Amino acid sequence: MVLTTYGRSSGFCIDPIEKKPLNHFYPGTSVLSFGTAGCNLGCKFCQNWDISKSREFDRLTDQASPEAIARAAQKHGCQSVAFTYNDPVIFAEYAFDVADACHALGIKTVAVTAGYMTDRSRPKFYQYMDAANVDLKGFSEEFYRKVTLGELQPVLDTLIYLKRETKVWFEITTLLIPGENDSDEELHAMTEWIAKELGPDVPLHFTAFHPDFRMRDKINTPASTLTKARRIAISKGLRYVYTGNVHDPLGSSTYCHNCHELLIERDWYELGQHHLKNKNRCEFCGTACAGHFAAGAGSWGRKRQPITIPDVF
């Protein structure tokens, strides 16, 4: 079997790490992002459908060797490289080689993934990753079968594996689709499960849906739905709950779970006030904030910078 997308990409772009979204993995730094083509799920709401559903040769116009990608990340001052846009489990062999090249230069690797994989594949895949954002698309088998053409349980198994068996830093994202996965009952069940099985320190991002692909008949997610979901999650004991795809500085910022003071201010992807000392300690009460932090926040901001990597195979 040959991976026909090896070394070929739909494009390379430098993003803020918060766009993945990862709010507790070197905030404010830049990440070199790329993907290939294809997906192992069939989400009717896919917001990267032109990449994930494309025939590979329609979209894969850029080429780069793993070593060239790592050198480009180093040249542009990126803290990490992200496998994103489509699920990296689809191009795992390419991602593994890129990860090796990045780690040789001290660059971190990030998987943006649906977490839909087998027990056998998880250990090898995550041994190459420093961080992950796992897309928990809903919290019912019915939703997964009907809307993603997949199953929920393998995703839950991935999350438990990450928590119990690895040192990978991970955060969770749930896109809330009106009338599909945003009921109070489902939100209570999901956040209770996260608190019980993964603990209070795993950041959870609720993001707003916009009509796309095969769900153009749905409305945009109201801001009030995101606020409700965030309130429910916090009531279950989750310490770091965020809103995304909407302008909500309060819901985008990080607060100390002990004294509730502002730790990292965010306006979209622009960072403002920063009140962590000794990398991860609240400046006001000394409580540790879960995650991976440098001595200070990065200053990449909200820029999105497409790049070309000229060094091919």
Q: Assess if residue 190 is contained within a domain.
A: yes
Q: Assess if residue 180 is contained within a domain.
A: yes
Bridge partners (DSSP) listed for residue 108 = 80
**Is residue 55 predicted with pLDDT exceeding 90?**
no
**Is residue 49 predicted with pLDDT exceeding 80?**
no
Q: Assess if residue 268 is contained within a domain.
A: no
Burial code of 45-66, b = ≥16 C-beta within 10 A, e = fewer?
Answer: bbbbbebbbbebeebbebebbb
Say how far apart CA 283 and CA 208 lie, in whole Å: 32
Question: pTM score, two decimals?
Answer: 0.94
Q: How does residue 310 score in pLDDT terms, banded at 50, 70 and 90?
A: confident
Determine whether 308 is exposed, middle or buried from the number of CB atoms within 10 Å of its CB (0-12, 13-18, 19+): exposed
Q: Which amino acid is present at 82?
A: A
CB atoms within 10 A of CB 233: 24
Contact 78, 50 (CB under 8 A): no
The string of pLDDT tens digits covering residues 233-274 is: 999 999 999 999 999 999 999 999 999 999 999 999 999 999
| Long-range contact set of residues 247-255: C-beta below 8 Å, sequence gap at least 24 | 248/223, 251/226, 251/227, 252/23, 254/23, 254/24, 254/27, 254/289
CB atoms within 10 A of CB 199: 13
Contact 9, 36 (CB under 8 A): yes
Q: What angle do CA 276, 108, 207 make, to 5 degrees?
A: 65
Q: Assess if residue 273 is contained within a domain.
A: no
Say how far apart CA 4 and CA 55 lie, in whole Å: 11
> Among 102, 116, 122, 117, which Cα is nearest to 163's?
122
The string of pLDDT tens digits covering residues 101-142 is: 999 999 999 999 999 999 999 999 999 999 999 999 999 999
Domain of 124, in residue numbers: 9-252
Q: Assess if residue 282 is contained within a domain.
A: no
Helix (H, G, I), strand (E, B) or coil at 196: helix
**Which tops the pLDDT comparison, 130 or 59?**
130
Residue 100: give its domain's CATH number: 3.20.20.70
Q: Assess if residue 296 is contained within a domain.
A: no
Q: Assess if residue 264 is contained within a domain.
A: no
**Is residue 51 predicted with pLDDT exceeding 80?**
no
Bridge partners (DSSP) listed for residue 241 = 204
Number of domains in the chain: 1
Q: Which two tokens stand for residue 262?
A: 């502002």
pLDDT, residue 311, reads: 55
Residue 45: DSSP 8-state? T
Q: How does residue 217 score in pLDDT terms, banded at 50, 70 and 90?
A: confident
Q: Assess if residue 52 is contained within a domain.
A: yes
